[in-house]
Structures are given as C-alpha cells and as structure tokens.
Amino acid sequence: MKSLGVGLIGTGYMGKCHALAWNAVKTVFGDVERPRLVHLAEANKDLADARASEFGFEKATADWRRLIADPDVDVVSVTTPNQFHPEMAIAALEAGKHVWCEKPMAPAFADAERMLDAARRAGKVAVLGYNYIQNPIIRHIKRLIGEGAIGQVNHIRVEMDEDFMADPDTLFYWKSELSAGYGALDDFAVHPLSLLWYLFGHVDAVVTDMSRPYADRPVKEGGRRKVENHDAAHVLMRLDGGISAVLMANRAAWGRKGRIALQIFGSKGAITFDQERMNEFELYQADGRGSEQGFRKILAAPAHHPYDRFIPAPGHGLGFNDLKIIECRELIRAISGEPSVIVTFEDGLRIEKSVHAMAESFHQRRWIEIA
C-alpha cells in the first residue's frame, strides 16, 4: 500500500493527539506504511504555520477547504469543536477522502445521519475517535468475556465522572447552554457507551434521570445565569440479551478526574476496570478453593495486545495518548481493507441514537425502547 497523505483540521488537544499518533504509528507498529503529514488547517494562519512546524506537517492553511481539496491528502483528521464535524466530514468524504472524526458526530441527530449518508455514498472509511476501546486492557477484557472467563454476563455498571463542572463558582460558559447538548449525557456518557457497544452490543431500553447540581452559575459581568442542561445523568438500561446495566455520568463529581469505572458480573466471575488506572484490571473467577478466591489485580502486559508493540515488559504502562496511536493503526488497517477495531459512522450513529433516547426518557419520565 502506498503511503497515506494526512490532513489535520484543528490543533487543540485532540489535534495534537492525532498528530502524535500520525508521527508514531509506524515506529510503534512497523506493519503499516509511514504516513506523510501533508497538510494542516487551523483558523489562524500564523497558528497554522506554527503548529505545522511543531507537528511536522508540510503545508499549513487557514482554510480547511483547501486542505480537503489537496490531492496529496488521502485521509482527514477532523478535531474541531463538535458543531463543525458535519460540514467538514461531509466535505472531506465528498472529496473522496477517508475521515477520522473526533466524537461525538454532531450535536443534532439529523446531522449525524447526514454524515453517515455521506460516508455510505463515498464508500470511504469513516471512523470516530472513540479511543477508550483501544486500550489493550479493554481488548483483553473482551477476549476474556468471549472465552467465557466469567461465564454469561448478566449485569454491568459503568460510571464516568470528572469534576470540571463541580465548582459552583465556575463561571457560566457555553457547556451549560442548551445548544451545547444535554450535558453529561452527550458530553461524555458517549465514551462509556462506546465501551458497552464494543463489549456487549446495543442498548435496547432505557430509563433516565438527569440532574442539575447547580441551578445557576455566576456570570463574569455580575449576577447569575440559569444552567440550561444537566451535569449529571443516570440511566437504567437493558442491553442485547436482557443484560441489565446502570450508566452513571457526572461532570460535577468532585475528586474524579478521568474515571470510567466498569463492573461486569457474569455467572462464573466478575471483571472491574477504571480508566483512572488504565494499566490494570481486576478479575474474579469462582473456581478453585473458596478460601483463596478474590479479585485479582492484573497489570498491563505484553500478552494484552498490542501493549507488546509499545513495551516488551509487563507493568510499565501505556499512556492516554498511546491509545490514539493504536486507533490510528486500526484506521490505517481499515483503509487497507484489513480487519480492524474501529467505531464507524454507522456504529457511532447507533450510540448517538441511544443518547437521544435517554434524554427522551428523562422528559417522559418512563422507559423508552430503542428500535
């Protein structure tokens, strides 16, 4: 396969994270071509130039449409704020580029549907940046479940908590506007939903509570403004096959920094994981003598692929940014027509559909089935 020409739109944290991945993927994995970092777009031309130099891109532009028109670009990383995803992703697909778009697809469901349509029409690879599923530990958990290590799964709990909205004195900003979405639900509950989707498949039915820890927030100019969405959301769910699940998401949970805590219960054991300690998981197996049964803390190791591509020794640990390198390689494999672990626009739409159903359940105060 010829070397991929890469275009990157956006150079905030996720833009940098994509750039790091494009720079490292060949060195880490060896089994893909080294991509060419061709074109970078950032709203301001000076910033675009600076970032192109830092990130190692050949060209820089303040006009993302020029990047998309560049014939040297084969794949476009879209890392701009969510509201720009539909326009950019669709334009790139229509120009015949593959697309690697940060999650979620779009604030409005109809826009997300348009993105999927465009991907289908273009016949190009269109992937969302749900990087948590790329953790070798998560992959290994999937393998263990598939092997029956904990028997038939019957119950799941997942908590996603951070505290960036926990301080009631934080000034009102756009994240609290209704136009930014439901709040915790689409702001980050989509991450644990991607894990549930990856590990267990789709959500069938939901009942939701959403809450507002603080009714209003101070405004810089003085006075207070009413908070328009919900910093916390809690959902009872039924998954494929009747598995019961509880999803809890809270962006106002003091002390939690990047918690995505999974508890998975089966007929023969249990598995737990917390993203704040992303290099370990716990496994309980109900076998052997009862007096020695317990949750086993297992550290990330070369046997948890593809940890071995980064480090040949156990217990040394990957970082958050490494997950993006793994995702990048999966994307390249998908483009090459090889089997890969990715969240396509089709999968992503299903995730967003369940988010909207959750919000609907809250407003109707009853269970909602998801077709």
What minimum distance in Å lies between the beta carbon of 292 and a copy of itself?
6
Selected range binding a copy of itself among 2-10, 101-109, 229-237, 344-352, rule: CB under 8 A: 229-237
Residue 213 makes contact with a copy of itself by CB under 8 A: yes
Site for a copy of itself in 250-269 (CB under 8 A): 250, 252-259, 265-269
Cα separation of 170 and 220, whole Å? 10
What minimum distance in Å lies between the beta carbon of 54 and a copy of itself?
5
What minimum distance in Å lies between the beta carbon of 69 and a copy of itself?
25
Residue from 88, 38, 80 nearest 61 by CA: 38
Structure tokens at 189: 């509950």
- Closest CB to a copy of itself among 177 and 258? 258
Task: Give the dihedral of Cα atoms 161, 165, 166, 170; nearest 10 deg.
Answer: 170
End-to-end CA distance of the chain: 40
Instruction: Give the phi and the psi of residue 285 in degrees, each rounded to 5.
Output: -120, 130
Selected range binding a copy of itself among 65-73, 120-128, 158-166, 350-358, rule: CB under 8 A: 158-166
Site for a copy of itself in 44-73 (CB under 8 A): 50, 53-56
- Closest CB to a copy of itself among 89 and 260? 260
Cα separation of 98 and 336, whole Å? 11
Instruction: Give the phi and the psi of residue 312 in degrees, each rounded to 5.
Output: -85, 0
Structure tokens at 366: 């009853």
Instruction: Give the phi and the psi of residue 160 in degrees, each rounded to 5.
Output: -125, 115
Q: Do the Cβ atoms of 272 and 264 come closer than 8 Å?
A: yes
Residue 270 makes contact with a copy of itself by CB under 8 A: yes
Selected range binding a copy of itself among 80-88, 187-195, 316-324, 345-353, rule: CB under 8 A: 316-324
Residue 331 makes contact with a copy of itself by CB under 8 A: no
Residue 365 makes contact with a copy of itself by CB under 8 A: yes
Residue from 110, 196, 124 nearest 159 by CA: 196
What minimum distance in Å lies between the beta carbon of 55 and a copy of itself?
5
Residue from 328, 305, 307 nearest 317 by CA: 307
What minimum distance in Å lies between the beta carbon of 61 and a copy of itself?
19
What minimum distance in Å lies between the beta carbon of 369 and a copy of itself?
11
What minimum distance in Å lies between the beta carbon of 315 and a copy of itself?
2
- Closest CB to a copy of itself among 15 and 107? 15
Instruction: Give the phi and the psi of residue 219 in degrees, each rounded to 5.
Output: -110, 145
Residue 159 makes contact with a copy of itself by CB under 8 A: yes
Structure tokens at 116: 């999927």
Q: Do the Cβ atoms of 370 and 204 come closer than 8 Å?
A: yes
- Closest CB to a copy of itself among 236 and 341? 236
Residue 175 makes contact with a copy of itself by CB under 8 A: no
Residue 209 makes contact with a copy of itself by CB under 8 A: yes
Selected range binding a copy of itself among 26-34, 64-72, 107-115, 340-348, rule: CB under 8 A: 26-34
Residue 248 makes contact with a copy of itself by CB under 8 A: yes
Residue 13 makes contact with a copy of itself by CB under 8 A: yes
- Sequence-ordered list of residues with C-beta below 8 angstroms from that of 312, at least 6 positions apart, any chain: 302
Residue type, 285: Q
